[in-house]
């Protein structure tokens, strides 16, 4: 089936069903684009009445074409498409692009039609792009195929672009032409009845003409498969993938049994998928191409240390501030570098970073400054700023940048600030592979994106953990609890039993069904203890007044038992209360939360953050999909804004990060092994100082039958 995708982009022959000379029609636009673009294969327009279109002989039907066909373009009414796919199969076609609209996007009859063509395509092993798409473009000189109704043929380049939106594609092409950005392949895949973003990623990942992949996505077909394919492209092939994902709202679930269920929003899964795939998520099309120009034209930086060369102090400060905000570091020059700069620059120049060559700088002054700092081993990349002052030789200054770039394997980005005065210099820079940004903040953000990608390529621990667990016993417990039910909340005692099968660190506890049981329990557990209501009908125990802490003796325990039961029944008069859990009090430590929610499309999503009762208010949490690499768990921990709390603040010792990582990986494995776990919260996990471990202080689990 992979060869069929290849055929879609490199067909030796194309039939255009719906080709026409009617002005302002899609059929006319597609035929015109193929002929004017100088498609290198054979065209077969199909029209019931016309003899030729643009000098190319037409055929009344697809079946009457005398030769076999590689690719069929379909631009007809939706109800005619199923029969055309059958005809295409009879002509030996292995690919089809359905530009026609009126399918799943309108629902009802359209959705049924789309399902029908899917079934026909699978039966005949024809790969489909679309329906409801702009088409596909291959700028390769040996193909030159513009099988779309876009207004222009993009110029050749090394950026592959994939978009779920056809309307966005036309704007992107216009933008790219204005910026003189070229593409290797340009693909609008519409409803993805067959070929989806994963198929296209695989193709572009193997395409030698594509150096950078850009994507606009509205949804994903399969999270884990997407991660696998994209990760291979990012880490093994070293190709950057940049993505714009629409629909970034993060509304939480309205009814959730856990903090995780309340916090995981519609966008959290996508953030997790992109992070685990090595994909850079960008804010919009402008930033997408800011990054793409740099990734496609410049080497990756080896580190975060950058130099800034400018002819104006203010822009230098702006670039510096933006660089620091983005996580870059200003390089500290060697004494030899500063000595060189001092010799060649005027006394009023700043020889430290950022280097200010002063407003009257000639191109020679820029050249010696840039070359000197780029040769410094402490510098990983540079941003060159230029403000168009009366004495500035803009074009000559532009010419020195690519000359210096040839001598080093480090990225150089420019910000020749402005539009009109700098236009000639900017044109020279971009025609010689040096990206330019109107303002320095964009250059700093782009350099930071390149650094992040470079760091990801060297990230270790991209392996799944090897854990000893009792998977079968956990399965038996889950099956027993769900027997005859589609949904079941596990009280803490039962939830802890399930966690125990995956060797999560648990506090010693015992159940008291009545106050009379407390004497016997007290002989088995040391005071002080925490006491918690046990009821499948009370999920949020604290809200129900169902938790008492620091109980120090039997008398206090019996009183607490009665108060907990009374509070629980006030909170929910219908609740069935099984008793009270008496649990050893955890020692003082840092409270964190580990949670999971099972997403029906992507599977279990793991959450980590600082824990306690304020977790939903603070929302300082990160997400990943399970199962996850060891490195993903490490990155989750370090990604929260309050990570410094775990590092130790105000005299507190650093927390045991390895213990947290182990717990995250065990929860990840648990929920990946058992899709019946709908929601899970460990809150809090009490984390002790480095080397002293962690312990589960409270947990809740909601089960749902996977067959319901």
> Under DSSP, is residue 310 helix (H, G, I), strand (E, B) or coil?
strand
Tell me which residue of 84, 113, 109, 108 sits closest to 97, measured CA to CA: 84
pLDDT, residue 251, reads: 44
pLDDT tens-place string over residues 531-548: 999 998 888 888 899 999
Which residues does 607 contact at the CB level (< 8 Å), separation at least 6? 259, 260, 263, 264, 593, 594, 595, 596, 597, 621, 622, 623
pLDDT, residue 539, reads: 82
pLDDT at 504 exceeding the cut of 90: yes
Beta bridge pairs of residue 243: 215, 281
pLDDT tens-place string over residues 689-699: 999 999 999 89
Using a pLDDT cut of 70, give the percent of the chain over it. Answer: 96
Q: How far apart are CA 562 and CA 117, in angstroms?
A: 66
pLDDT tens-place string over residues 358-375: 999 999 999 999 999 999
Within a 10 A sphere around the Cβ of 480, how many other Cβ atoms? 10
- Angle (nearest 5°) at CA 429 between 428 and 431: 65
- The pair of structure tokens assigned to 369 is 């400054």
More confident residue, 674 or 455: 674
Burial class, 203, CB count within 10 angstroms (exposed 0-12 / middle 13-18 / buried 19+) = buried
pLDDT, residue 600, reads: 83
252 pLDDT band, cuts 50/70/90, is very low
Q: How far apart are CA 237 and CA 278, in angstroms?
A: 12
568, 544 Cβ separation under 8 angstroms: yes
Fold exhibited by the domain 590-704? D-amino Acid Aminotransferase; Chain A, domain 1 (3.30.470)
pLDDT at 1 exceeding the cut of 50: no
421, 392 Cβ separation under 8 angstroms: no
- The pair of structure tokens assigned to 595 is 């949670």
246 pLDDT band, cuts 50/70/90, is confident
DSSP 153-210: PPPEEEEEEEES-HHHHHHHHHHHHHTT--EEEEEE-TT-SS--HHHHHHHHHH-TT-
Tell me which residue of 275, 205, 204 sits closest to 236, measured CA to CA: 205
Question: b vs e for 567-601, b when ≥16 Cβ sit within 10 Å of the residue's Cβ?
Answer: bbbebeeebebbbbbbbbbbeebbbbbbbbbbeee
Q: Strands, DSSP E only, in 577-668? A: 579-584, 590-599, 603-610, 621-625
Q: How far apart are CA 606 and CA 613, in angstroms?
A: 19
- Angle (nearest 5°) at CA 207 between 204 and 208: 140
pLDDT at 708 exceeding the cut of 70: no
pLDDT at 24 exceeding the cut of 60: yes
Q: What is the largest CA-CA distance in the chain?
A: 100
For residue 690, whether the previous peptide bond is cis, meaning omega lies within 30 degrees of 0, is: no
> Under DSSP, is residue 647 helix (H, G, I), strand (E, B) or coil?
helix
Residue in the structure block whose two tokens are 């009370």:
538
pLDDT at 257 exceeding the cut of 60: no
- The pair of structure tokens assigned to 689 is 């100082």
Which residues does 363 contact at the CB level (< 8 Å), separation at least 6? 393, 396, 397, 399, 400
Tell me which residue of 632, 623, 631 sits closest to 604, measured CA to CA: 623
pLDDT at 75 exceeding the cut of 70: yes
Q: Provide the whole-model pTM.
A: 0.88
pLDDT at 254 exceeding the cut of 50: no
Q: How far apart are CA 214 and CA 226, in angstroms?
A: 15
Fold exhibited by the domain 508-584? Dna Ligase; domain 1 (3.30.1490)
Q: How far apart are CA 599 and CA 672, in angstroms?
A: 12
Within a 10 A sphere around the Cβ of 8, how many other Cβ atoms? 25
More confident residue, 526 or 335: 335
pLDDT at 326 exceeding the cut of 60: yes
Within a 10 A sphere around the Cβ of 348, how many other Cβ atoms? 10
Please determine whether the domains at 2-210 and 299-457 fall in the same fold group of CATH. Answer: yes
pLDDT, residue 260, reads: 63
> Under DSSP, is residue 246 helix (H, G, I), strand (E, B) or coil?
coil
Tell me which residue of 669, 600, 603, 597 sits closest to 633, measured CA to CA: 669
pLDDT tens-place string over residues 35-49: 999 999 999 999 999
CATH 3.20.20.10, domain 299-457, yes or no: no
pLDDT (mean) for 185-203: 95
- The pair of structure tokens assigned to 401 is 């940048």
CA 371 from chain center: how many Å? Answer: 37
φ, ψ of residue 271 to 5 degrees: the values are: -60, -45
pLDDT, residue 3, reads: 57
- The pair of structure tokens assigned to 29 is 């636009």
Within a 10 A sphere around the Cβ of 700, how many other Cβ atoms? 22
Average of per-residue pLDDT values in the chain: 92
pLDDT at 403 exceeding the cut of 80: yes
Sequence spans of domains, the chain: 2-210, 299-457, 508-584, 590-704
pLDDT tens-place string over residues 88-111: 999 999 999 999 999 999 989 999
CA 161 from chain center: how many Å? Answer: 16
CATH 3.40.50.720, domain 2-210, yes or no: yes
Cα–Cα distances (Å) from 49 to 17, 20, 107, in that order, read: 13, 10, 33
Q: How far apart are CA 445 and CA 436, in angstroms?
A: 13
φ, ψ of residue 244 to 5 degrees: the values are: -105, 125
- The pair of structure tokens assigned to 215 is 């994507």
């Amino acid at each position: 089936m992979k060869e069929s995708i290849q055929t879609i982009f490199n067909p030796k022959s194309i039939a255009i069903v719906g080709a026409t000379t009617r002005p302002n029609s899609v059929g006319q636009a597609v035929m015109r684009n193929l002929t004017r673009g100088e498609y290198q294969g054979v065209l077969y327009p199909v029209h019931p009445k016309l003899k030729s279109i643009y000098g190319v002989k037409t055929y009344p039907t697809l079946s009457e074409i005398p030769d076999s066909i590689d690719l069929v373009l379909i631009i007809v009414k939706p109800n005619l498409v199923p029969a055309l796919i059958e005809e295409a199969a009879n002509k030996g076609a292995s690919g089809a692009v359905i530009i026609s609209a009126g399918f799943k996007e309108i629902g009802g009859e359209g959705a049924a039609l789309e399902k029908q063509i899917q079934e026909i395509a699978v039966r005949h092993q024809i790969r489909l792009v679309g329906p409801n798409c702009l088409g596909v473009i291959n700028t390769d000189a040996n193909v030159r195929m513009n099988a779309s109704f876009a207004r222009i043929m993009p110029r050749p380049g090394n950026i592959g672009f994939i978009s779920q939106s056809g309307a966005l594609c036309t704007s992107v092409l216009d933008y790219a032409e204005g910026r003189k950005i070229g593409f290797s392949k340009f693909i609008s895949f519409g409803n993805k009845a067959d070929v989806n973003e994963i198929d296209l990623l695989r193709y572009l990942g193997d395409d030698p003409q594509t150096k950078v992949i850009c994507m606009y996505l509205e949804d994903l077909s399969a999270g884990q498969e997407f991660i696998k394919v994209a990760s291979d492209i990012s880490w093994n092939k070293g190709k950057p993938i940049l993505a714009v994902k629409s629909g970034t709202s993060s509304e939480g679930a309205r009814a959730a049994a856990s903090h995780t269920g309340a916090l995981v929003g519609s966008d959290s899964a996508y953030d997790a998928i992109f992070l685990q795939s090595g994909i850079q998520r960008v804010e919009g099309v402008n930033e997408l191409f800011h990054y793409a120009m740099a990734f496609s034209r410049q080497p990756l930086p080896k580190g975060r240390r950058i130099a800034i060369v400018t002819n104006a102090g203010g822009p230098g400060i702006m670039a510096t501030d933006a660089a620091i905000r983005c996580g870059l570091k200003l390089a500290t020059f060697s004494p030899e570098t500063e000595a060189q700069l001092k010799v060649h620059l005027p006394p009023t120049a700043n020889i430290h970073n950022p280097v200010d060559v002063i407003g009257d700088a000639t191109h020679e002054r820029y050249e010696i400054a840039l070359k000197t700092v780029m040769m410094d081993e402490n510098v990983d990349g540079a941003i060159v700023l230029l403000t168009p002052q009366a004495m500035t030789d803009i074009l000559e200054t532009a010419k020195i940048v690519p000359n210096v770039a040839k001598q080093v394997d480090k990225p150089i980005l420019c910000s020749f600030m402005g539009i009109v005065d700098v236009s000639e210099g900017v044109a020279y820079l971009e025609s010689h592979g040096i990206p330019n940004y109107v303002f320095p903040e964009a250059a700093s953000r782009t350099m930071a994106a390149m650094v992040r990608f470079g760091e990801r390529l060297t990230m270790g621990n991209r392996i799944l953990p090897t854990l000893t667990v009792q998977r079968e016993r956990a399965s038996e417990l889950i099956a027993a609890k769900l027997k005859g039910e589609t949904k079941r909340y596990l009280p803490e005692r039962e939830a802890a039993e399930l966690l125990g099968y995956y060797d999560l660190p648990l506090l010693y506890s015992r159940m008291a069904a009545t106050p009379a049981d407390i004497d016997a329990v007290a002989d088995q557990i040391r005071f002080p203890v925490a006491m918690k209501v046990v009821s499948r009908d009370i999920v949020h125990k604290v809200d129900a007044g169902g938790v008492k802490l620091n109980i120090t003796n039997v008398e206090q325990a019996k009183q607490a038992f009665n108060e907990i039961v009374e509070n629980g029944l006030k909170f929910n008069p219908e609740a069935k209360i099984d008793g009270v859990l008496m649990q050893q009090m955890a020692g003082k430590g840092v409270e964190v939360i580990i949670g999971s929610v099972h997403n029906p499309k992507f599977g279990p999503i793991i959450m980590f953050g600082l824990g306690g009762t304020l977790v939903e208010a603070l929302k300082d949490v990160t997400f990943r999909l399970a199962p996850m690499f060891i490195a993903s768990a490490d990155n989750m921990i370090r990604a929260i804004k309050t990570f410094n709390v775990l590092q130790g603040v105000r005299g507190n010792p650093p927390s045991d990060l390895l213990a947290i990582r182990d717990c995250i990986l065990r929860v990840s494995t648990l929920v990946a092994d058992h899709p019946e776990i709908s929601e899970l919260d460990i809150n809090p996990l009490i984390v002790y100082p480095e080397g002293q471990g962690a312990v589960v202080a409270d947990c809740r689990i909601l089960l749902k039958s996977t067959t319901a």
